[in-house]
Amino acid sequence: MKLKLNSEFGTLRRVIMHRPGQEIERLTPQNSSELLFEDVPYLESMQKEHDEFFNVIKSTTDAMVYRLRQLLLDVVKQDVFKESILLDALARSSHEEVCGDIMSCFSTAEIVTMLIAGIRADELKRKVPALRNRKFDSNYYIIHPSPNMYFMRDPAAVTQNGVISSNMKFSGRQFESHLLKLIFKHHPDFKDAYHEVFPGDDISTIPTIEGGDVMVISPKVLAIGCSERTESAAIEKVAKNVLSGGIVERVYEVKLPGRRNYMHLDTVFTVVDENLVVTYPEAIDSLQETYVHRISSMDNNRKFIMHKEAVQQSLITILKNEISHLEVIETGYGHPDHSSREQWYDGANVFALGPRRVISYDRNKHTNRALRDRGVDVIEIRSSELSRGLGGPRCMTMPIERDDI
């Protein structure tokens, strides 16, 4: 186990996924927008689609597929971590005082469920007699739900040098990153390999960054989208840490328009082989500017001096300079209407199982045909409910080990 990746498409060896659960049923037409959903999915169908996704990976690769809930259970069953993570969850609603009651009245498995799905005051009162006279609104959340948890790509990102522990923009998602960091730091499968490249020791002010904006272009190149959810200051901090590690030579900061369907860099393009990318052309054409971070020199104390400069080229030109003999596939097979429609359901957001072998939503038929015509093995999965959260197969996976290229 390395917890380092030097490509987006090396043969998959280990990946973390989360099966949608009770947290999805917390969504209502009234709170869905607040919880970053455009619609209210039907959980049972959503689970069937996710199980199909999980089983495709299991049946077509030799990869180890971890379930987030089981990883969290492995950590939380240790009482010292159970209490600390529960206290942290309760602190977000200022109700640390009920920690002891929960610890004594709920099983470890129930606590793991509430850490993801949340718990309302009325649910807590039913299990804890001592709290039945407390004046809580019945629908008040003592622990808030995390319905976006099945988008495993965002809470962290594995790079060439180590792990970015995301600082999510929206408060409703910040606890997801905390849970992933807890797993990486304390789970026996990961703790010895865990090296954090963000935020690191300086936690006084942490700018926002999300894993969907992080893209490994090659063993020596990292690209990070500066989007509505990832700040330039975070990219500079990551660049400083990964460049000083001596593996990465260039970090590109790609400015994205602040639009819902461009929310992360991986909605604009993904890498499916050493010389092949799939892109959404309208987004590529509307990118505002790109910068490159490099180490320029060392000062007298042997400390690296980092240099940032604007790149006067399009993103496609930059990629062609970095990737020899680059081929570019456009979503919707280049047809504007098909491309726009399929981009809404993340046509460019495919998940690579290995070189030129990807999982894609079945509804993106024109993009999938374009991929197949370039020799890509496309495995389609159903997506009627999974796509309602506006995220694709890449969004739903956190690869933590691939074969090096």
The tens digit of pLDDT for each residue in 350-366 reads 999 999 999 999 999 99
The whole-number pLDDT of residue 388 equals 86
Q: 């790149």: which residue's tokens?
A: 311
| Predicted pLDDT at 358 | 98
**Domain boundaries along the sequence of the chain:** 12-70+147-402
d(CA 397, CA 69): 14
**pLDDT interval class at 17 (50, 70, 90):** very high
pLDDT tens profile 246-275: 899 999 999 988 776 678 999 889 999 999
Q: How far apart are CA 122 and CA 187, in angstroms?
A: 33
Instruction: Work out the angle between the directed axes of helices 171-186 and 79-91 (0-180°, nearest 10).
Output: 170
- Given a cut of 70, whether residue 331 has pLDDT beyond it is yes
% of the chain residues with pLDDT over 90: 72
State residue 139's pLDDT score. Answer: 75
- Please, which residues have CB within 8 angstroms of residue 377's CB and are 6 or more apart in sequence? 356, 357, 358
**CA nearest to 146, candidates 247, 60, 26:** 26
Residue 199 has a CB neighbour count (10 Å cut-off) of 20
Pairwise pLDDT comparison (337 vs 63), residue with the higher score: 63
Q: Tell me if residue 219 falls in helix, strand or coil.
A: coil
The CATH fold of domain 12-70+147-402? L-arginine/glycine Amidinotransferase; Chain A (3.75.10)
Q: What is the pLDDT of residues 271-296, one digit of tens each?
A: 999 999 999 887 777 777 999 999 87
The per-residue DSSP string of 362-395 comes to TT-HHHHHHHHHTT-EEEEE--TTGGGGS--TTT
Confidence at residue 338, expressed as pLDDT on a 0 to 100 scale: 82
pLDDT of 298 above 70: no
Q: Mean pLDDT check: name the lowest of 109-113, 190-194, 228-232, 256-260.
A: 256-260
* 266 within 8 A of 153, measured Cβ to Cβ: yes
Mean pLDDT of 309-334: 91
Q: What is the mean pLDDT of residues 169-181?
A: 92
DSSP letter for each residue of 7-45: -SSSPEEEEEE----GGGGG--TTTTTTTT-SS---HHH
pLDDT of residue 138: 67
Residue 99 has pLDDT above 80, yes or no: yes
Most confident of 170-174, 247-251, 313-317: 247-251
pTM, rounded to two decimals: 0.94
Q: Are 401 and 13 in contact (CB under 8 A)?
A: yes
Residues taking part in catalysis: 395
- Tens of pLDDT, residues 115-158: 999 999 989 988 888 887 777 776 789 999 999 999 999 999 99
- The predicted pLDDT at position 301 comes to 59
- Give yes or no for residue 343 having a pLDDT over 90: no
pLDDT at 300 over 70: no
Structure tokens belonging to residue 170: 């929206």
Share of the chain above pLDDT 70, in %: 96
pLDDT of 302 over the 60 cut: no
pLDDT for the residue numbered 168: 93
**Of the candidates 61, 102, 66, the residue with the CA atom closest to the CA atom of residue 83:** 102
